[in-house]
Amino acid sequence: MSSPSSASPNQQGSVMVQLSSIRKSFDELEVVKGVDLQIGAGEFFSLLGPSGCGKTTLLRMIAGFEAPNEGHISIDGQAMDDVDANERPTNMVFQSYAIFPHLSVGENVAYGLKKQRLAKNVERQRVDEMLKMVDLEGLYSRPSYALSGGQRQRVALARALIMEPKVLLLDEPLSALDKKLREHMQQELRRLQRTLGITFILVTHDQEEALIMSDRIAVMFDGNIEQLGRPQEIYERPVSKRVASFIGVMNFIEGEYIGRKGKQLKVRADALGEVLLEQEQMPTEIEPGQVTIGLRPEMMTVLYHKSDKSEKEFNATVENVDYYGDMTYYTVTLPKSDDQVTISMRNTAGRHVYEIGDKVRIGWGSASMVILV
């Protein structure tokens, strides 16, 4: 289903987490319907999908909080079939953070170290080091009810990382934070992961987050992995309409796959005429017939000046404008059809921002199209 280059974690790395034929049901409802997955050591891996797709259940099975009905999990070569959650070389950052309310910041972070019976000053030093790493320096004695959302998140992170797990599991860790903080933490998490070299497995429904942070993403729907690959692959060559519309914004144009012409594929759409596409623009092999063509908003452009040229172009009227400050999204109707498409333009210096009703020229090329099923 996905290109062979990304089926295995990385060319030279070893496999840290192996999931084989995992199935899980709750009462009568099957939530995970047969998942096979290999996650590499040192990889930042994301499980991405809408609510109910099974991603959190999968994460919890890796952590040991749920047992699969079928299939096996192994971590760093060791089978986890009879290993309880408290014995696994994993640690989790919970969605609610699960900060112990009756303990201070320092006591929370040191919680898992107690078993090791370290000397007081040794333990304190390690906690202080970890607090510094997550930017919570000096907050050792702060009671946990006096923390902001972002601080609680970092305490949860510190508490898990101090255990030096082989795999860090993150269950939608940023969903409760406001936008600016979330963006900052996305960078922080990526930086931490690169510094520590630990395998991170992140569960999220936010596709932007997955794209920004991950080395590879598994896009899940209804208990199955629909596509597995690097962010760029998933964004540029989604295997299905579902994946295409879940990741970013995608324009869908109805058309027809006519057949091969040499090594190329002949595709026609009422609105855009006939085009020749490359093999890689058809991620899933199909027979000639009705198809949906996907085209990203940034792959079309507004031609501002008479002298601006493009491989192909058409005239249209602006029907909607969404201004985001750095970008503007225009909605226009394609010629000879009722299909609407969205075009995104960067608001560079001096660039005109159109209004509804303005007549514009739209330029586009066939190289970025994708045939979707």
Partner 1 sequence: MKSKAPIALFSFVVTYLIFLYAPIILLPLFAFNDSSIISFPLSGFTSKWFVGLWYEETMHRALKNSLIIAVVSSVISTIFGILTARALARHQYIGKKPIFGLIMAPLFLPEIIIGVSLLIVMIQIGLTLNIWTVIIGHVLIITPFSVSILAAAFNNMDRSLEEASLDLGETRFGTFRRVILPLVTPGIISSLLIGFTISLDEFVIAFFLTGIEPTLPVYIWAQLRFPSKLPGIMALGFILLVLSLVLLALFEFFRRRSEALTSGKPSSEHQ
Residues 174, 186 contacting (CB under 8 angstroms): yes
Concatenated DSSP letters for 299-362? GEEEE-STT---SEEEEEEEEEEEE-SSEEEEEEEPTTSS-EEEEEEE--TTPPPP-TT-EEEE
Concatenated DSSP letters for 21-86? EEEEEETTEEEEEEEEEEEETT-EEEEE-STTSSHHHHHHHHHTSS--SEEEEEETTEE-TT--GG
CB of 44 to partner 1, least distance (A): 20
d(Cα 261, Cα 268) in Å, to the nearest integer?
Answer: 13
CB of 158 to partner 1, least distance (A): 12
Residue 302 touches partner 1, criterion: CB under 8 A: no
Instruction: Give the pair of three-digit tokens for residue 170.
Output: 């993150």
Q: Which of 67, 146, 249, 327 binds partner 1 (CB under 8 A)?
A: 146
Residue 73 touches partner 1, criterion: CB under 8 A: no
The residue range among 2-10, 99-107, 261-269, 273-281 that interacts with partner 1, by the rule CB under 8 A, is: 99-107
CB of 154 to partner 1, least distance (A): 15
CB of 197 to partner 1, least distance (A): 21
Q: Which of 2, 91, 104, 328 binds partner 1 (CB under 8 A)?
A: 91
Count the alpha carbons within 13 Å of 274 in the hemisphere toward its beta carbon: 7
The residue (of 102 and 305) whose beta carbon lies closer to partner 1 is 102
The residue (of 123 and 233) whose beta carbon lies closer to partner 1 is 123
Residue 360 touches partner 1, criterion: CB under 8 A: no
Residue 11 touches partner 1, criterion: CB under 8 A: no
Neighbours of 369 (CB within 10 A): 24
The residue range among 40-48, 143-151, 223-231, 342-350 that interacts with partner 1, by the rule CB under 8 A, is: 143-151
Residue 77, φ and ψ in degrees, nearest 5: 80, -10
CB of 216 to partner 1, least distance (A): 24
Q: Which of 31, 58, 99, 282 binds partner 1 (CB under 8 A)?
A: 99
Residues 38, 92 contacting (CB under 8 angstroms): no
Residue 197 touches partner 1, criterion: CB under 8 A: no
**In the stretch 151-170, what mask flags binding to partner 1 with x, by CB under 8 A?**
--------xx--x-------
Q: Which of 7, 67, 79, 98 binds partner 1 (CB under 8 A)?
A: 98
CB of 194 to partner 1, least distance (A): 24
Residue 276 touches partner 1, criterion: CB under 8 A: no
Instruction: Give the pair of three-digit tokens for residue 365.
Output: 């090329």
Residue 186, φ and ψ in degrees, nearest 5: -60, -45
Concatenated DSSP letters for 162-193? TT--SEEEEESTTTTS-HHHHHHHHHHHHHHH
Residue 102 touches partner 1, criterion: CB under 8 A: yes
CB of 96 to partner 1, least distance (A): 5
The residue (of 91 and 301) whose beta carbon lies closer to partner 1 is 91
Angle at 12 between CA 9 and CA 13, to 5 degrees: 55
Instruction: Give the pair of three-digit tokens for residue 216.
Output: 């590879």
CB of 142 to partner 1, least distance (A): 12
Binding-site ranges for partner 1 (CB under 8 A) = 63, 65, 84-87, 90-92, 94-96, 98-102, 111-112, 115, 143-146, 159-160, 163
